[in-house]
Amino acid sequence: MTGQIADKIVFRGATYDLAEHSGGPLYDPIASGLRPTAIHTACWRGFIATYRICAGRFVLHDLEVNDGERVFPLIAGVEAEPADEQVRTYHGVDLPVPFSGTLLVGTDFDSSLYVHMGFQPAWKYRTVWEITCVGGAVTREVDRSAEIHERPEHPQGLGSPSTGDADAKWTDGTVDGPTPRESSGR
């Protein structure tokens, strides 16, 4: 599988990748009447969401989507604009998302750790924030950047760990809440 494009979140004046989350729900395009199909090999789920924190709330800001049936309903009163022959983009939706759980968001991805498959985990970013939400309200923001590089299972830039357990160990020790983790692939 090709490396997948992560959802984004605009947070503290920068754009981060939504690397991991526990809890839910995140935005579901099917609930808006869309039927996403693959945009390309780097987006098998058929959509890329851009979230933002707006006045202490977690909202869907923009949505890029390929609807296999070519039906693009209004979302929160916003009409989809053509991006290309298949894809449409909803700009400035700012639809509240009642997410309850924890998000790990990252920026400054260490490309030496890139794996050409799935979504990249949080520990592969140099800057990582943990954002906790209850019913869409942001209740806590913690910079985890220093910790991520202190953990013994972090490869210190020497390549991927020898087992897939490093991702789980880092998340288990960082994300408060339920142990099951989900990639941003939902």
Model pTM? 0.79
Bridge partners, 96 (sequence order): 59
Q: How far is CA 177 from the centre of its chain?
A: 18
Q: How far is CA 1 from the centre of its chain?
A: 18
Would you give per-residue pLDDT tens digits along the chain (186 residues)?
678 989 999 999 999 999 999 999 999 999 999 999 999 988 999 999 999 999 999 999 999 999 989 999 999 999 999 998 889 999 999 999 999 999 999 998 777 776 766 788 888 998 999 999 999 999 999 999 988 777 655 555 333 333 344 444 444 444 433 323 333 444
Helices then strands (H, E): number in the chain?
A: 2, 11
